[in-house]
Amino acid sequence: MDYRDTPEEAEYRARLRAWLAEIVPSVTGGGTQRASIYRAADSRLWHRALYEAGYIGQSWPAEQGGGGLGPVYDYILNDECGAAGAPSLPSNVNYLGRSIASFGTPEQRERFLVPTMSGEIRWCQGFSEPSGGSDLAALRTVAELRGDHYVANGQKLWTSGAHLADWCFLLARTDPKAPKHKGISALLVKMDTPGIEPRAVETSDGGAHTSECFFDDVVIPADQVLGDPGDGWRIAMSALAYERGPADNGVLSVARREVDEIQAAAVERGRTDDPDVRRGIADAHVASEVLRLSALRQLTLRALDLPPGAENQVNKILWSRCLQRIGHVGLELADTDAFLHEADDSVGRYFESRHSSVYGGTVQIQRNLLARRGMHLPTD
Amino acid sequence: MRAYYDEEELMLASVATDLAGSLAITSPREIDEGRSAEAWKQLTDTGLLGLRLRSAGEGPEGSGVAVQIIAAALGKALAPVPFLESAALVVEVLAQGAPESAAAVADGRSRWGLLLAPDLRNLAGVSDLAAGRAVGWGTAGAEYGLVLGSNREVHRAPLAAGDPVVRGDLDLTRTLLVPSVGGAPESLGFRLDDEAYDRWLALALVGLCADAQGALAGAIAVAVEWAKDRKAFGKPIGTFQALQHILADDQVSASAVETTTNYAAWAIDELPAAEALLAARTAKAYLGEVGRGVCEDVMQVFGGIGQTWEHVGHLYTRRVLLDSRLFGGRRDQLDAIATARLD
């Protein structure tokens, strides 16, 4: 165990901290930033600034165009962004970018990686479907090969940011005769291709949006299949492993910032003498510390090249437990303000926290995986 | 940064697991004084009692993480041996100003225990002892009980030999006793300042969290094995999703108890005392949130047999209940965390 920064990590942290002190006020205008893994897609300015300073893709392998830093640097990035009250880190760049880096042809890497990192290309993720829910491999969207191109038809749901995205990372069935998991391919699709229609879906918090996306005879050049045709499931699982990591999505920084915001609101309202308020803040502190330390362990195991074992599921479940605890505490601290619409963010934060046990694979799916793969409980 | 055990720590964990395996309790029938005495002798022979000894001008021989590793292994085995209360936490105090006494405890020549305040939140004061309210923890067979005078001046209370009188046996593997005081407490001529006391308290909280960490891991492990073997409706009960989800959630909680305790254990020797104490309180507050529920789930997974006296289930629950409560439960820790953040 050694939670102290190495000299290299300390130097990185100091540089990052100084940079954040300068950049954060200029991108936020000094206001508070309610957490949103969706809203990250809105902030091109912030994304661009992160890219130019070298913080996007910092832990991807250098030979794939990344910064080549160890996984623990992603923890430091989260930690400092949270402390600085920075906007959320762009959420899907890390795991979709890694997939392109890992599975793409040299031409695809050349074409997509740098623009993805810089924010010039923004992605939406076309995985889930209305009919499938958690059973991702049951997806029905088809992409039929006709000569040098595919023709895609179907509907995707939870394609967050689709209305702003330039490209879609689409999972579609390219071989209807193959077994469920084998007939899926990952296709990279330009969002302005005729036949694509994104529609906004308002989420329960009322503020943030996700999307659905319709594909009607959408023509996709065959060289935009990522990896090999039929490799889609393997690629999707690799992407999901990173999508579920709290430090891979900036969730650590969100949790830390939210605890600070809840505390600041309590101080502002003069409620810090109330024992319930005090315990609520401490409770939120504990929840965010649990997530921070667990995610750091996950990154350490990744750095040591140890198999993650149950760490991915443990961390995804702790992620939703943490945000939902903070959501509850925030609502309780706001008290009547939540009902009289005078609260700053507590209602929105609460409903947004409810999403966290669904997105990226529900808590129930994580429990299944953890029980069967991590704990080796028997299947039927 | 490295939030995982290094080679040396993994080796210590392996040694500790072997040792604890030979001290393990798997049913209330196995608990008796003879077994505890044998367990103590084995622990003494390993040299692990002196982990927190200091050579002149240097830090402790064994880190806070080493204490965590040993305590977790003993907790997992439900070992009836007072590693924290008669070794690590005693030596930690004595090493500050009574090095010869510390050395005598470390090599087994002298046996001590802790005297606790009646609310179990603190070490007893001399006045608690005088009023007959002090609670003995690890005082069975001990010559001295550690107690604090005014201004946290460290005292030892001589204890009389004789059969221990049980004050509380909620935890069957670590009973709390009525200390049989054999004379007036004597000052050891040094005091614990705020810094030293905070660090000591952090070690106490970490040790308790680690013991519970082990007990939770042990409880989940027996439940998982049971779920694989036990059949109902013609198949192993572990195939049922209702049960898988309970155990998966427990695994998440137990894993998080370990990681929060890892950080707090490391912090004891590496961070300013106030930060180390905050980390320890955070781990203890989290234990207080999840520990009991995990044990209840394990007893539930065992069904009827898990409700019987003969079964090991309640031994884990009892151990975790005591760990969660000593030196302050969840609410106490939350209040202290709020003070650290707000005041």
Domain with residue A253: its CATH number is 1.20.140.10
A375 in B contact zone (CB under 8 Å): yes
Percent of chain B with pLDDT over 90: 87
Which tens digit of pLDDT belongs to each residue from B233-259?
A: 999 999 999 999 999 999 999 999 999
Among residues A230, A259, A289, the one where a domain terminates is A230
Query: Does B332 fall in a domain?
Result: yes
Query: Does B299 fall in a domain?
Result: yes
- Name every residue whose Cβ is closer than 8 Å to that of residue A81 and which is 6 or more positions away in sequence: A20, A89, A250, A253, A257
pTM metric for this prediction: 0.94
Percent of chain A with pLDDT over 90: 67
pLDDT at B236: 97
Q: Which residues constitute the domain of residue B272?
A: 195-342
Residue A261 DSSP one-character state = H
Secondary structure class of A238 (helix, strand, coil): helix
Q: Which residues constitute the domain of residue A148?
A: 123-230
- ipTM of model: 0.96
Query: Does A2 fall in a domain?
Result: no
Q: What is the mean pLDDT of chain B?
A: 95
The C-alpha angle with vertex A234 and arms to A232 and A237, in degrees rounded to 5, equals 105
The rounded distance, in Å, linking the Cα atoms of A296 and B341 is 22
Which tens digit of pLDDT belongs to each residue from A127-177?
A: 999 988 888 999 999 999 999 999 999 999 999 889 889 999 999 999 999
pLDDT at A343: 56
Domain with residue A169: its CATH number is 2.40.110.10
The answer for A 15-74 residues in CB contact with B (under 8 A) is 72
Which tens digit of pLDDT belongs to each residue from A330-360?
A: 999 988 888 887 656 888 889 999 999 999 8
Determine, for residues B334 and A377 on separate chains, whether the beta-carbon distance falls below 8 Å. no
pLDDT at A186: 97
- Is residue A243 part of the annotated active site? The answer reads yes
Which tens digit of pLDDT belongs to each residue from B173-199?
A: 898 999 988 899 999 999 999 999 999
CB contacts, 8 Å: A279 with chain B: 331, 334-335, 338
Q: Is the dihedral angle over the CA atoms B218, B220, B221, B222 positive or is it negative?
A: positive
Which tens digit of pLDDT belongs to each residue from B59-76?
A: 899 999 999 999 999 999
CB contacts, 8 Å: B4 with chain A: 1, 297, 300-301, 304, 306
pLDDT at A36: 44
The rounded distance, in Å, linking the Cα atoms of A286 and B324 is 15
Residues A73 and A60 in one domain: yes
CB-count burial class (<10 Å; 0-12, 13-18, 19+) for A333 = buried
pLDDT at A24 over 60: yes
pLDDT at A37: 41
**Average pLDDT for residues A258-262, to the nearest whole number?**
92
pLDDT at A342: 64
Which tens digit of pLDDT belongs to each residue from B23-59?
A: 999 999 888 877 888 889 999 998 899 999 998 778 8
Which tens digit of pLDDT belongs to each residue from B278-332?
A: 999 999 999 999 999 999 999 999 999 999 999 999 999 999 999 999 999 999 9
Query: Does A280 fall in a domain?
Result: yes
Inter-chain CB pairs, A–B, below 8 Å:
155
B69 in A contact zone (CB under 8 Å): no
Among residues A60, A92, A118, the one where a domain terminates is A118
The rounded distance, in Å, linking the Cα atoms of B21 and B38 is 13
CA distance B44 to chain A (A): 26
The rounded distance, in Å, linking the Cα atoms of A349 and A258 is 9
Residues A194 and A114 in one domain: no
The rounded distance, in Å, linking the Cα atoms of B24 and B19 is 9
The total number of structural domains in chain A stands at 3
Residue B265 binned pLDDT confidence (cut-offs 50, 70, 90): very high
Residues A251 and A354 in one domain: yes
Determine, for residues A294 and B259 on separate chains, whether the beta-carbon distance falls below 8 Å. yes
Which tens digit of pLDDT belongs to each residue from A82-136?
A: 888 888 888 788 889 999 999 999 999 999 999 999 999 999 999 999 988 888 9
The total number of structural domains in chain B stands at 1
Tell me which of A80, A212, A243, A352 is the catalytic residue. A243
Residues A114 and A161 in one domain: no
pLDDT at B57: 78
The rounded distance, in Å, linking the Cα atoms of A134 and A95 is 19
Query: Does A317 fall in a domain?
Result: yes
Domain with residue B293: its CATH number is 1.20.140.10
Residue A40 binned pLDDT confidence (cut-offs 50, 70, 90): very low
pLDDT at A307: 67
CA distance B256 to chain A (A): 6
